[in-house]
Chains A and B, each alone.
Chain A
Amino acid sequence: MKPKAKDFKSLRRKYIIDGIASYTVLIALAIIWIIPIVWTVTTSFRGESAGLITQSFFPKVWTVKNYVNLFKEGRILLFKRWLINTLAIALCNMFITTFITLCVAYSLSRFRFKMRRPYMNIALILGMFPGFMAMTAIYIILGIFTDAQGDPLLLGNTWTLLLIYASGAGLGFFVSKGYFDTLSISLDEAALLDGASQMAIFFKIILPLSKPIIIYTALMAFMTPWADYVLARVILGADSSRQSWTVPVGLYDLTDPTRIADYFTIFTSGCVIIAVPIVLIYLSLQRFMVEGISAGAVKG
């Protein structure tokens, strides 16, 4: 039977209706997803009240006062200090953790030694322990280190966080190892024939070829201190002067039930301040993010 013009017409209509329906759903979803973000941003410019209570979705009085107040030093609020702390930790963590992760991933991908399989299995099992068990224990153990006056040296010290992040880096090798596995080993062999040492192969051949995974790992490491609340709270919570806190610890404190009435708009402006740069970095490096997430998934 020959297809008639009518069939094509109905097909075409179906196609268009499907398109309209899809657009409607998609735009509705997009609105749901964007509302909290819009609300955060607009609230950070709200002038009529500092607390959470509000009668309208959008502010009635627009102001930048919240941003100004955010950077004013106070007893509760030391945002500038927290920002510097977090940035310092994030940058150091980015370099150290990325380097360690890549080293471990490379060894496990390219060398065949006796402890290789056990190491990978142990890493997997350790990763399955609830992080809190170690966290509580680390808290108690770090308490051992005190100065002459008996005050804790490592608790309430921002750099301790870096130490802990970096020391855990040897366990997060799975994604980058998967990436190294896909790089052909004939490259290594050719270089070995030319008399290169394994060290030279790693630094001069493999690393330059691994730009996507380096960027992905570095980005993840850079984000850790901006997103990590729990560990930071455990380690830094002892510091009542708030000098050593990071942004997440400080921001969370502002939404504490006792403070939310006075600090909510300031909290949202703090959120905007840290979210904007991170979002920009993400969007500009979107390609690598997508690659990293998918690579991690398929290697599973």
Chain B
Amino acid sequence: MDIPKGVMAMSFFEKITYRLSAFFKKIFSPLKDYKTAFKYSGLRGKLALVLSALVMGFGHIILGFLEKGLLYIVFEAVVILIWLKFGVNEIIGKSIMPSQALRVWAIIFLVALTLVFIYSYLRSIGSVIQNLITEEKTPKNIILNFFKNQFKKTGAFFQEYAQTYQSSTQKIKASMVLPFFVMGSGHLLQRQITKGLLYLAGMVLFIVYMLTDGITDLQGLITLHTEGVRSDYSIIYGLLCLAIILAFVIVYIKNIKGAKIGAQKLLNNIPVNLINDIKALKGPKFYITLLTLPIIGILAFTVLPLLFMILLAFTDYAFQIGTVPSIINDTWLSWTGFDSFRRLFDMGEYFKALTNVVSWTFVWAFFATFTCYFGGMFLAILINKKQIKGKIFFRSLFLLTIAIPQLVTLRVMYAMFHDYGPINSLLMKWGWINRRIQFWGNTAIAKILIILINMWVGVPYFMILMTGLLMNIPKDLYEYSRIDGASAFQQFRYITLPYIMFMTGPLLIANFVSNINNFNVIWLLTGGGPEGAGTGGVAGGTDILITWLYKLTMMDNPKYNIGSAIGLIMFIISASLSIIIYRRSSSYQKEEDFS
């Protein structure tokens, strides 16, 4: 957005009104051209305009923006569903919310949702009109285009394949047909013995695996009922089987590509040998050498567990009190579709706990991020002042808290504020209180303490970071502004703050996301307690989503299905936030300038 020169000099309220009017202009100005666009566009355009006004997203689909249109339609459906389930009941006064506080939250949420809906509805019409006027011919459909490109590439590949085939000798022709049926035969016929044998061995192994274990594993994944195998292990074996099939398909395609390349090389009399291929792994293809092991590690210990856990959200894998793991009891798991999500969102204890936990999670993440950010900035500026001697001493002193493992500092803090800890004892001794304060037993106090103690841990980190940034601000900016008569506060407001905000903007949001997932501070201080306070008994008073997830899956009577459902919801929240940040961050956009 371009800001006119005067905007820096505006007062706060002027700025707000300016921003607001710009915002509304952005929404409404395209709408003015509705009639003109309707008059001058063809039948398709007219249809798109009418439909987009009726149902959000149809206009986009007619103009060829399939994915965007579908997203709009899905969003619309979700909004309508939420309205049908909660909104109507709220309006006719038959609220189904279990408590008054929840009602307020629900109404706030509904209003916000409706505003967002209206906004995106107007924007969708606006963008249809704009597309008609500027006649943007190539709709962006990332996923669709990807498949189109793949299809085109495959077509081109086979065309080339056919050309090579026609111009080759009988033997090479054979080497180009056989690999479709027997992997590695092409390589063998082209005298690449080692590679050919490897491919052949791969195929044999794959067939043997599929005939012995593979089919049972796949069945197990569907039925979750294989004799002698625990149901949860069935899912893992099934996933592994799918991975093996995928790997086989990739190797199979490589085999056919290899046959073509080999045939081309033979036609042009270029020698083929394995040694060159191996040498390339040290040279231009060195990255394959470097990345193979890490990728295997990631697949085994990050991707596989995640897929497994996502699948668990759609099963009934939960231990009831008093029952033992499924296989021992001869009970099997089964697929239950979206049941765990339904249980989370029906009006029972889980929903109550979920709303409590989610709102505290966001409150916590907000305060944790901003207190540490501005606290760190304040501290860095303080230490950086000209009058302060012994800067290194002070910096090292605050650095201590980063250096000491969090487990130590947080457990010590827990002990200090314990019912029988030194704070209580000293306050009693001095006669300030006559009854021990239960710092950790009261949800409100515990929450405030958590945020304060988190400052103790997090402020020095930001201080270090800001110190580096402060030193990078050009000194002459301060000189000039002082000559112009700027006060210290003005210097801070118009030089330091904008500079730091510009440099650390993405970091601030990334820090917000990481605080949503900040397990250590909450768990090591309160363990999510006090237990069951105001959350229907299934979550603690200071539980954030991640600690609740831990309790649901790692404590007694784990409820893996509910836990996974919560994890998935968290993922959707934090992933969408961080993708937005990452795409806007300078390192993503400018990265290619470097090479």
Q: Hey, which bits of chain A sit against chain B, CB under 8 A?
A: 15-16, 18-19, 22-23, 25-26, 29-30, 32-34, 36-37, 39-40, 51-57, 100, 103-104, 106-107, 110-113, 119, 123-141, 144, 163-164, 166-171, 178, 181, 185, 197-199, 202, 223, 226-227, 229-230, 234, 248, 251-252, 255, 260, 264, 267-268, 271, 274-275, 278-279, 281-283, 286, 289-291, 293-294, 297-300
Contacts and interface: CB of A to CB of B under 8 A. Distances in A.
A134 B304 CA distance: 8
Given A111-B287, A124-B578, A275-B408, A26 B403 contact: no
A297 B550 contact: no
A294 B546 contact: no
A243 to B, nearest CB: 20
**A15, A23, A36, A199: most-surrounded residue (chain B CB, <10 A):** A36
Interface residues of B, number: 108
27 contacts: A39-B416, A40-B408, A52-B421, A104-B290, A104-B294, A107-B290, A111-B287, A127-B578, A128-B578, A131-B519, A134-B302, A136-B309, A141-B236, A141-B308, A185-B594, A198-B283, A198-B284, A198-B286, A199-B283, A251-B411, A252-B411, A252-B524, A264-B415, A274-B405, A283-B403, A297-B503, A300-B581
Given A141-B308, A252-B411, A290 B405 contact: no
7 closest A-B pairs (Cβ-Cβ)?
A170-B294, A167-B297, A19-B387, A137-B305, A294-B468, A282-B403, A198-B286
Contact of B513 (A32, A39, A128, A171): A128
B461 A34 contact: no
B425 A197 contact: no
Contact of A299 (B310, B568, B587): B587
A29 B513 CA distance: 28
B335 interface: no
B394 interface: yes
Which residue among B308, B408, B409, B545 has the maximum number of chain A CB atoms within 10 Å of its CB? B408
Contacts of B571: 128-130, 133
Contacts, number: 291
B25 to A, nearest CB: 31
A138 B546 CA distance: 17
A33 B397 contact: yes
B127 interface: no
Contacts of B546: 130-132
Contacts of A131: 517, 519, 546
A5 to B, nearest CB: 20
B400 interface: yes
Contact of A57 (B309, B402, B426, B578): B426
Which of the listed residues A170, A197, A199, A299 has the most CB atoms from chain B within 10 Å of its own CB? Answer: A170
A22 B382 contact: yes
Nearest to A100: B294
B574 interface: yes
Contact of B408 (A110, A133, A274): A274
Given A129-B567, A133-B306, A283-B396, A167 B408 contact: no
Contacts of B406: 227
B422 A297 contact: no
A128 B574 contact: yes
Contacts of B506: 300
Contacts of B308: 137, 140-141
Contact of B407 (A23, A136, A248): A248
Interface in B547-595: 549-550, 553-554, 558, 560, 563-564, 567-568, 570-571, 574-575, 578-579, 581-582, 585-587, 591, 594-595
B439 interface: no
Contacts of B95: none
A252 B298 CA distance: 29
Contacts of A294: 464-465, 468-469
A56 B429 CA distance: 9
Interface in B296-315: 296-298, 300-306, 308-310, 312
Contacts of B594: 181, 185
Given A130-B567, A300-B585, A37 B550 contact: no
Nearest to A131: B517
A171 B302 contact: yes
A291 B471 CA distance: 13
Contacts of A297: 465, 468-469, 503-504, 507
B388 A26 contact: yes
Contact of A278 (B290, B405, B420): B405
Given A199-B283, A202-B290, A271-B408, 11 more contacts: A33-B456, A33-B460, A125-B579, A128-B513, A133-B567, A169-B294, A275-B403, A278-B404, A286-B399, A297-B469, A298-B469
A126 B302 CA distance: 8
Contacts of B520: 229-230
B306 A234 contact: no
Contacts of B418: 52, 260
